[in-house]
Amino acid sequence: MRPQTVSLLRSPGTHEPLRLVTEIGATVASQEVLVSVSSGESFAIREGIPVLYDETQLVGLDKQYQGFYRRVAGVYDVFIQVWAWVRCGGERQLRTQYLSELEIQPGHRVLEVSVGTGGNLHYLPPHAEYYGLDLSWAMLNQCQRNLKRWGREAELIFGNAEDLPFQDEVFDVVFHMGGINVFNDRAKAMSEMVRVARPGTRIVIVDETSKAVREVQRIPGVKRRLGQYPERFAAPVSLVPPGVTDVAVRDIIHSEMYCLTFRTPERPPRVEDTAFEMQLA
């Protein structure tokens, strides 16, 4: 793992810094692990992906939908391609409707929460530094394969959106597309996105509306799965974290998706900076 990536990562729950350690076993080859600087708790790195969440702790909707994405990972990209063609004439046209909201500049550090198979990364400019987090190992594996096929790079992390394993205020762009409707704690997930974003960062959150659910209820199992939570298929404006600004919602993709945007609070000026400005005046 790159040293700059390790420096951004934090232990889930405690948010303690981590360090990269090479373990030498008696019966197995040496392997790298991440170790909490304070507690000594260690986290595995599997196939180049840090494992920063304990799957045995999954409950509720998070557990239910992790199993769902494990089953559909192999056909997910094909489904999206077909849906995009039917709705918008192609995947680029569909994804541009929300990716255009991102304020990516050269050298920016960009986090996609629930990166899935990486479809969005394929259409983003190559001049930024990308990170993708997901709670589905099968989807992350597919994302790895896609990135290699596309000749793109991104640091992938296995983790929970409701407890992002990152340092505070380190990302210039944070976005999420698809999944937050069925998170256990949507408000906590949005608060975590704000926590890891720099002051003044625009957050972009996209997911399905009730219209989209009605459209796909003919698919076997979908009505039973999604029909349980009709109130969740709308932009969670009432759950946005306190202090954020520029809250806005618009319907996209023929009103089958919503695009919720808001900006993280600006950091108040430091006392010493204010004093210095007064001296200059």
pTM metric for this prediction = 0.90
Look at residue 117 in the predicted model and tell me its pLDDT. 97
According to DSSP, the β-strands at 202-208 and 257-263 are antiparallel
Report the alpha-carbon distance of residue 189 to residue 192 in Å, rounded.
5
Tokens of 70: 């494990």
CA 94 to chain centre: 19
Contacts 24+ apart (CB under 8 A), 246-251: 246/202, 251/209
Q: Inform me whether the pLDDT recorded for 281 exceeds 90.
A: no
List pLDDT tens digits, range 147-178: 999 999 999 999 999 999 999 999 999 999 99
- Give the CA distances from residue 65 to residues 78, 147, 181, in Å, rounded to whole numbers and listed in that order: 19, 24, 11
What are the chain's domains?
Answer: 3-45 (no CATH), 55-263 (3.40.50.150)
List pLDDT tens digits, range 64-88: 888 888 888 999 999 999 999 999 9
Angle at 72 between CA 68 and CA 75, to 5 degrees: 165
Report the alpha-carbon distance of residue 134 to residue 161 in Å, rounded.
7
List pLDDT tens digits, range 97-119: 999 999 999 999 999 999 999 99
What b/e readout covers 10-27, taking b as 16+ CB neighbours within 10 angstroms? bbbeebebbebeeeeeee
Report the alpha-carbon distance of residue 18 to residue 8 in Å, rounded.
9
Look at residue 45 in the predicted model and tell me its pLDDT. 95
According to DSSP, the β-strands at 245-252 and 202-208 are unpaired
Burial of residue 75 (CB within 10 Å: 0-12, 13-18, 19+) is: exposed
List pLDDT tens digits, range 8-54: 999 998 999 999 998 776 556 678 999 999 899 999 999 999 999 99
Angle at 115 between CA 97 and CA 134, to 5 degrees: 150
List pLDDT tens digits, range 240-250: 999 999 999 99
